[in-house]
Amino acid sequence: MDQVSTYSKMFKFELGPERQFVILGAGNLATTQATLAQMKKDIRNKTELNLNTVTTIGEAADYVGEVSKNQQEKHGNEGPRYEASFILGGQIGGSHHRVVMIYPEGNHITSSKDTPYLQVGESKYGKPILDRIINLSTTLETAALSALVSMDSTMRSNLTVGPPIEMIVYHSDSFVLNNYHRFEEDDEYLRELKKSWDNKLKDAFHQLPPLAWAENWKKISDNNSGVY
């Protein structure tokens, strides 16, 4: 934590009126950057396989996974220290939008009825909020708010995570990536959200039902020896 650097983990690929991708990266930064650089190079060089030539989101995920694996092997950097994982979201004309998570090994999974969201990077602190809020009927706006609250919880418990926070909201069949916002540390909305969430959590805690068994437990412990 004595060497703090800020790098974007969100990458947009606006490849025409009917081909839009957003990629989120986590893990080894060098592997992430090398993977994205190679993908951009493939587009410029019009290689046989690139994000402009894939026909499905699944094929795009396989491509990203293969590029990531190649970058790890290119410098002999196999192992957990050099692994990177990605979330790829997007839509290709003629098919539905999809979101997939790509593992360091190159394989991937997609969202489903039982798994309505995907997450990479530091997840344990913010995951409970998403598990309680996100379901198949959640609106896009509520999901976006849940993501911000989840990030706030992560930042509160992990000092290595902090602003800026990048968010993009994609509406199915729109084929535009213009609903983008970057929340800086001094962002007024981010501060208000944090303050409101803290206060609501405390209010909810104080409204929890009392421990009705506490008095009985005290009586039992008074009548028995040992440590309680």
Kindly report the pTM of this predicted structure. Answer: 0.84
Asked whether residue 220 carries a pLDDT value surpassing 70, the answer given is: no
Residue 38: domain span: 10-208
Q: Is residue 70 domain-resident?
A: yes
pLDDT classification of 218: cutoffs 50, 70, 90: low
Q: Can you tell me whether residue 100 is helix, strand or coil?
A: strand
Q: Is residue 100 domain-resident?
A: yes
Residue at token pair 């809020």: 133
Q: Is residue 82 domain-resident?
A: yes
Q: Is residue 218 domain-resident?
A: no
Q: Is residue 162 domain-resident?
A: yes
Q: Is residue 38 domain-resident?
A: yes
Tens of pLDDT, residue by residue over 13-52, are 999 999 999 999 999 999 999 999 999 999 999 999 999 9
- How many angstroms separate the CA atoms of 42 and 67, rounded? 10
Q: Is residue 217 domain-resident?
A: no
> How many C-alpha atoms does 159 have within 13 Å on its Cβ side?
4
76-109 in b/e form (b: 16+ CB < 10 A) is eeeeeebbbbbbbbbbbeeeebbbbbbbbebebe
Residues 6+ apart with CB under 8 A from 90: 13, 19, 20, 21, 22, 57, 60, 97, 98, 170
> Do 91 and 97 touch, CB atoms closer than 8 A?
yes
Please count the structural domains in the chain.
1
* The pLDDT value given to residue 225: 52
Tens of pLDDT, residue by residue over 186-199, are 999 999 999 999 99
**Residue 173 backbone zone (phi > 0: left; psi -120 to 50: alpha; other: beta):** left
| CATH code, domain with 163 | 3.60.20.10
Q: Is residue 2 domain-resident?
A: no
Strands 165-168 and 19-27: unpaired
